[in-house]
Structure 1
Amino acid sequence: MTTLTPLALPEVTLITPRRHGDARGWFSETWSRRTLSALGIDAHFVQDNQAFSARSGTIRGLHFQTAPHAQAKLVRVLAGAILDVAVDIRPGSPTRGRWVSAQLTAEGGEQLFVPRGFAHGYCTLCDNVMLAYKVDSDYAPEAEGGVVWNDPDLAIAWPVDADDAVLSDKDRILPRLADLPDPVF
């Protein structure tokens, strides 16, 4: 049976699909609209994405898309491990600026559901990490936004020193949450 574990921000949910194993290995149903809808997650995914990061300490994020292309995500690791982070950036939310994290591993099969209105990012915990994630709206570059990964107001407990973090040039110059115009989701 798939298990759901609400995190400190209950909209963000850790999902652990059941694995059926035998001498050959295991099988897992990683997404079932029927199963997760019955558990309260009713996203209609339209796109699958896959990412590879060669080095431990690679940080991607914190990213989001605004309306009319806002995205919910379902993230899982195919190889390696990550610290996955979601930050509430919804205007007027009583938890705006709060974040939650969960370790996702290929071995454990955990998944993180990140709803619309949350910025998402992750840090690789080892070399050669591959992850896959579903989104419920198509990629729209005109709607993309982000918050800088090391925003001191957020104080995210990343598992890498700032000097050792591997980042894209784009992610290095994202604004702080306090400097972000209120996004619409």
Structure 2
Amino acid sequence: MLVHTRQEREAAARTWLLISARDAATARSDWKNYGVALLRCGALFSAVRIPAILVHAAAGTADRPAVADFLATALDGGPVFYDGGGQQYYALTPGSAARTWNVPDTECLGSDHFLGIPATDITAPDPRCAAYWCVPMDGPGTLCMPAAVAHLARHGRHLVAQQQSEEATARA
């Protein structure tokens, strides 16, 4: 039986992600020094940007550990990171997802996009950068299913719209 430790899977995921860097040595250095490196979307992966308000509505909370648990379940363990500076979540999906993505209030970053991706070992707020993995990559090529990400975003949109409607009715 072959057993891989979390540390081995993280190293494999890190190596896989580095394929998307213009220069792997620079990206490694940026991860070490700044906690984040610019990687090219579109070939190995795309990244769906979802506003935090939608994710928190779908999760029913903004509590960091609870949101991470929700995302891990809703996206079947697919990798997601949070950018606190932009108040956005990013779900990594197959590179082809950007070609057909059509979910309002979200964006799927594909070819010709570069994204600041946190180092694979940053799984909580870190002083080096505003981004961290809520659901770390489980290994190379492990990505979120686009349909699950779309469902989550649409559900969050529905809940936000419902809450806004109720608030407007209460004010009237």
TM-score scaled to structure 1, two decimals?
Answer: 0.27
> Which one has a larger percent helix, Structure 1 or Structure 2?
2
